[in-house]
Amino acid sequence: MTRKIIIDTDPGQDDAVAILLAAASPELEVRALTVVAGNVPLSYTRVNARKVLELAGRTDIPVYVGCDRPMRRKLVTAEHVHGKTGLDGPDLPAPTMAEQSQHGVDYLIDTLRAAPAGTITLCPLGPLTNIAMALVKAPDIAPRIAEIVLMGGAYFDVGNITPAAEFNIYVDPEAADVVLNSGVKITMIPLDVTHRALATKPRLDAIAAIGNRSGNAVSAMLNFSERFDLAKYGWGGAPVHDPNVIAYLLKPELYTGRQINVTVELASELTLGMTVADYWQITKRPRNVFYVRDVDAQGFYDLLTDRLARLP
């Protein structure tokens, strides 16, 4: 039985790798991509999503364009990591596949209302604006969502865009608050786990050795996007955040975590967007999130490399 998913994304090299992993995995039925502003403005993410699907030979997956800015705040982007286009590294051709005309938020609402309850999993890989807007516009969809498996947040590994906050949550903290209080089953893949699965040279070499166009493109993407994190952290490799969401769906046994409360800071300028994880269950706040804390890093890269090899 394939698992039906919708990927909400702000590509972004690591988003691209996640999309490729999903496109290569028959266990998953990717119903659509919904695109959001984040790593770079929507004008780029809407193009990058289609470039990646064409690279994967998966133009059967429709692309719906969502929100171009957070619910309340000005957009914060990350060109310093991802480059001007958001997909710097490989030279991918301009897409020829069309976008869908329906807005991404309305697509989420209509699709969740039409599908049998509990059959669609949402996989947000960027700021949660589209997901939150759908939940605000149509609260009836919340019980219809099977699960939200998102990349975002940080606690033990602290922030990456500020000392306190991870980028996806920081860009639209109000959207994260809507999602965290939605009552939907949520699995969070935070920096605490993505920082434990680094793209070391042997792992990058294995991807480069695949020899197909997808492997070559991923190699170029990661060689570009890693430079910022290598300089910042001084580690032997850079994290590749978003594909962990897809790998969790494919092989949850690679990951460990616990059901705890996660609350997002909305008021303090100093810690805006911080995900306060009650990991030791000190409070009586509702345990609203399965918070992933660790990963079998080599198992993740073995899975990723194996699946990339199945693509064109």
Catalytic annotation, residues: 241
Of these, 242, 247, 261, 295, which contacts ligand RIB (CB under 6 A)? 242
Of these, 39, 182, 214, 244, which contacts ligand RIB (CB under 6 A)? 39
User: Which residue carries 């009836």 as its tokens?
Assistant: 140
For ligand RIB, which stretch binds (CB under 6 A), given 7-15, 52-60, 133-141, 293-301?
A: 7-15
For ligand RIB, which stretch binds (CB under 6 A), given 8-16, 49-57, 255-263, 303-311?
A: 8-16
* 229 scored as a contact of ligand RIB (CB under 6 A): no
Least distance from C-beta 170 to Ca ion, angstroms? 12
* Length of the chain (residues): 312
**Residue closer to ligand RIB (CB basis): 38 or 95:** 38
Binding mask 164-183 for ligand RIB (x = CB under 6 A): --xxx---------------
Cα 215 from Cα 221, distance rounded (Å): 10
Residues at the interface with Ca ion (CB under 5 A): 10, 12, 15, 125-126, 242
* 8 scored as a contact of ligand RIB (CB under 6 A): no
For ligand RIB, which stretch binds (CB under 6 A), given 9-17, 93-101, 180-188, 216-224?
A: 9-17
Least distance from C-beta 78 to ligand RIB, angstroms? 6
Cα 307 from Cα 311, distance rounded (Å): 7
44 Cβ partners below 8 Å, 6+ apart? Answer: 84, 85, 86, 87
Least distance from C-beta 154 to ligand RIB, angstroms? 8
- Other C-beta atoms closer than 10 Å to the C-beta of 117 total 12
Cβ 261 vs Cβ 285: under 8 Å: yes
- Other C-beta atoms closer than 10 Å to the C-beta of 27 total 12
DSSP state, 249?
H
**Residue closer to ligand RIB (CB basis): 109 or 222:** 222
Least distance from C-beta 40 to Ca ion, angstroms? 10
105 Cβ partners below 8 Å, 6+ apart? Answer: 34, 66, 67, 130, 133, 134, 137
Footprint (CB under 6 A) of ligand RIB, residues 118-137: 125-126
Least distance from C-beta 49 to ligand RIB, angstroms? 13
Handedness of CA 278, 283, 284, 285 (dihedral sign): negative
Q: How far is CA 17 from the centre of its chain?
A: 10
Backbone phi and psi for residue 76, each to the nearest 5 degrees, phi listed first: -110, 130
* 151 scored as a contact of ligand RIB (CB under 6 A): yes
- Report the phi/psi class of residue 211: left, alpha or beta, with left for phi > 0 and alpha for psi in -120 to 50: left
Interface residue list for ligand RIB (CB under 6 A): 10, 12, 14-15, 38-39, 125-126, 151, 160, 166-168, 241-242
